[in-house]
Protein backbone atom coordinates (compact mmCIF):
# COMPACT_ATOMS: atom_id res chain seq x y z
CA UNK A 1 0.00 0.00 0.00
CA UNK A 2 1.36 3.39 -0.92
CA UNK A 3 2.31 5.86 1.78
CA UNK A 4 -0.21 8.34 0.40
CA UNK A 5 -3.10 5.90 0.92
CA UNK A 6 -1.84 5.03 4.40
CA UNK A 7 -1.58 8.71 5.34
CA UNK A 8 -5.06 9.45 4.03
CA UNK A 9 -6.49 6.59 6.03
CA UNK A 10 -4.73 7.64 9.23
CA UNK A 11 -5.93 11.23 8.78
CA UNK A 12 -9.52 10.03 8.29
CA UNK A 13 -9.20 7.87 11.37
CA UNK A 14 -7.80 10.76 13.43
CA UNK A 15 -10.64 13.03 12.27
CA UNK A 16 -13.21 10.41 13.20
CA UNK A 17 -11.65 10.03 16.66
CA UNK A 18 -11.61 13.81 17.15
CA UNK A 19 -15.23 14.03 16.05
CA UNK A 20 -16.15 11.27 18.49
CA UNK A 21 -14.32 13.06 21.31
CA UNK A 22 -16.06 16.36 20.57
CA UNK A 23 -19.42 14.64 20.32
CA UNK A 24 -18.82 12.89 23.64
CA UNK A 25 -18.05 16.24 25.26
CA UNK A 26 -21.20 17.74 23.78
CA UNK A 27 -23.26 14.69 24.77
CA UNK A 28 -22.98 15.67 28.42
CA UNK A 29 -25.01 18.82 27.76
CA UNK A 30 -27.54 17.63 25.16
CA UNK A 31 -31.24 16.92 25.16
CA UNK A 32 -32.45 13.37 24.55
CA UNK A 33 -33.52 14.28 20.98
CA UNK A 34 -30.10 15.70 20.19
CA UNK A 35 -28.49 12.66 21.80
CA UNK A 36 -30.46 10.32 19.50
CA UNK A 37 -29.43 12.34 16.45
CA UNK A 38 -25.78 12.23 17.54
CA UNK A 39 -25.91 8.47 18.07
CA UNK A 40 -27.46 8.05 14.63
CA UNK A 41 -24.70 10.15 13.08
CA UNK A 42 -22.00 8.25 14.98
CA UNK A 43 -23.40 4.96 13.68
CA UNK A 44 -23.44 6.37 10.16
CA UNK A 45 -19.81 7.56 10.52
CA UNK A 46 -18.75 4.17 11.85
CA UNK A 47 -20.43 2.44 8.93
CA UNK A 48 -18.74 4.82 6.47
CA UNK A 49 -15.35 4.27 8.14
CA UNK A 50 -15.84 0.49 7.92
CA UNK A 51 -16.63 0.79 4.20
CA UNK A 52 -13.54 2.91 3.62
CA UNK A 53 -11.37 0.43 5.52
CA UNK A 54 -12.75 -2.44 3.43
CA UNK A 55 -12.19 -0.45 0.24
CA UNK A 56 -8.61 0.36 1.30
CA UNK A 57 -7.94 -3.32 2.02
CA UNK A 58 -9.22 -4.28 -1.45
CA UNK A 59 -6.73 -1.86 -3.00
CA UNK A 60 -3.79 -4.07 -2.03
CA UNK A 61 -3.65 -5.26 -5.63
CA UNK A 62 -0.87 -4.12 -7.93
CA UNK A 63 -1.65 -0.77 -9.59
CA UNK A 64 -1.92 -0.55 -13.36
CA UNK A 65 0.94 0.14 -15.74
CA UNK A 66 0.21 3.84 -16.23
CA UNK A 67 -0.34 4.37 -12.49
CA UNK A 68 3.06 2.81 -11.78
CA UNK A 69 4.69 5.05 -14.40
CA UNK A 70 2.97 8.08 -12.87
CA UNK A 71 4.10 7.08 -9.37
CA UNK A 72 7.66 6.61 -10.62
CA UNK A 73 7.75 10.01 -12.31
CA UNK A 74 6.28 11.63 -9.21
CA UNK A 75 8.99 10.03 -7.07
CA UNK A 76 11.68 11.21 -9.50
CA UNK A 77 10.32 14.75 -9.36
CA UNK A 78 10.26 14.63 -5.57
CA UNK A 79 13.85 13.40 -5.39
CA UNK A 80 15.06 16.01 -7.89
CA UNK A 81 13.68 18.73 -5.62
CA UNK A 82 15.81 17.39 -2.77
CA UNK A 83 19.05 17.41 -4.76
CA UNK A 84 21.66 19.93 -3.64
CA UNK A 85 23.22 21.19 -6.85
CA UNK A 86 26.90 22.28 -6.81
CA UNK A 87 27.85 25.92 -7.26
CA UNK A 88 29.87 27.07 -10.30
CA UNK A 89 33.12 27.06 -8.32
CA UNK A 90 32.49 23.54 -7.00
CA UNK A 91 31.55 22.35 -10.48
CA UNK A 92 34.74 23.80 -11.95
CA UNK A 93 36.85 22.18 -9.19
CA UNK A 94 35.20 18.79 -9.69
CA UNK A 95 35.62 18.99 -13.47
CA UNK A 96 39.34 19.78 -13.21
CA UNK A 97 39.81 16.93 -10.73
CA UNK A 98 38.06 14.47 -13.06
CA UNK A 99 40.07 15.53 -16.12
CA UNK A 100 43.31 15.25 -14.12
CA UNK A 101 42.39 11.75 -12.92
CA UNK A 102 41.53 10.70 -16.49
CA UNK A 103 44.96 11.86 -17.67
CA UNK A 104 46.74 10.08 -14.77
CA UNK A 105 44.89 6.81 -15.31
CA UNK A 106 45.38 7.07 -19.10
CA UNK A 107 49.15 7.41 -18.63
CA UNK A 108 49.23 4.50 -16.14
CA UNK A 109 47.29 2.23 -18.51
CA UNK A 110 49.55 3.26 -21.43
CA UNK A 111 52.68 2.43 -19.38
CA UNK A 112 51.31 -0.96 -18.28
CA UNK A 113 50.27 -1.78 -21.85
CA UNK A 114 53.69 -0.76 -23.22
CA UNK A 115 55.39 -2.87 -20.55
CA UNK A 116 53.32 -5.92 -21.39
CA UNK A 117 53.96 -5.48 -25.13
CA UNK A 118 57.72 -5.07 -24.49
CA UNK A 119 57.75 -8.19 -22.31
CA UNK A 120 55.96 -10.22 -24.99
CA UNK A 121 58.29 -8.98 -27.74
CA UNK A 122 61.31 -9.81 -25.60
CA UNK A 123 59.93 -13.23 -24.66
CA UNK A 124 58.69 -14.35 -28.08
CA UNK A 125 60.88 -12.26 -30.39
CA UNK A 126 57.99 -11.62 -32.78
CA UNK A 127 59.01 -8.07 -33.71
CA UNK A 128 62.26 -8.34 -35.25
* Residue 97: pLDDT over 90: yes
pTM for this entry: 0.39
Mean pLDDT, the chain, integer = 85
| Mean predicted confidence (pLDDT) in 26-36 | 71
Residues 22, 81: contact at Cβ < 8 Å?
A: no
pLDDT computed for residue 12 by the predictor: 84
Least Cα distance to 49 among 24, 12, 6, 8 occurs for 12
Q: What per-residue confidence (pLDDT) applies to 96?
A: 98
Domain borders along the chain are 1-83, 86-128
> Helix or strand or coil: residue 123?
helix
**What's residue 102's pLDDT?**
98
Give the confidence band of 99 by pLDDT, cuts at 50, 70, 90: very high
Alpha-carbon distance of 82 to 77, in angstroms, equals 9
What are phi and psi for residue 121, nearest 5 degrees?
-65, -45
Percent of the chain with pLDDT over 90: 42
pLDDT the model gives residue 42? 80
Residues in the chain: 128
pLDDT in tens, 38-88: 778 888 888 888 877 777 666 667 888 999 999 999 999 999 999 999 999
Amino acid sequence: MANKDRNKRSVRKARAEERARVEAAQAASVTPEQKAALEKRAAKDAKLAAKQEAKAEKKDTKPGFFRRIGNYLGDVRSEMRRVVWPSKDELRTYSVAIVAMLIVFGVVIWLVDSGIVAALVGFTGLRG
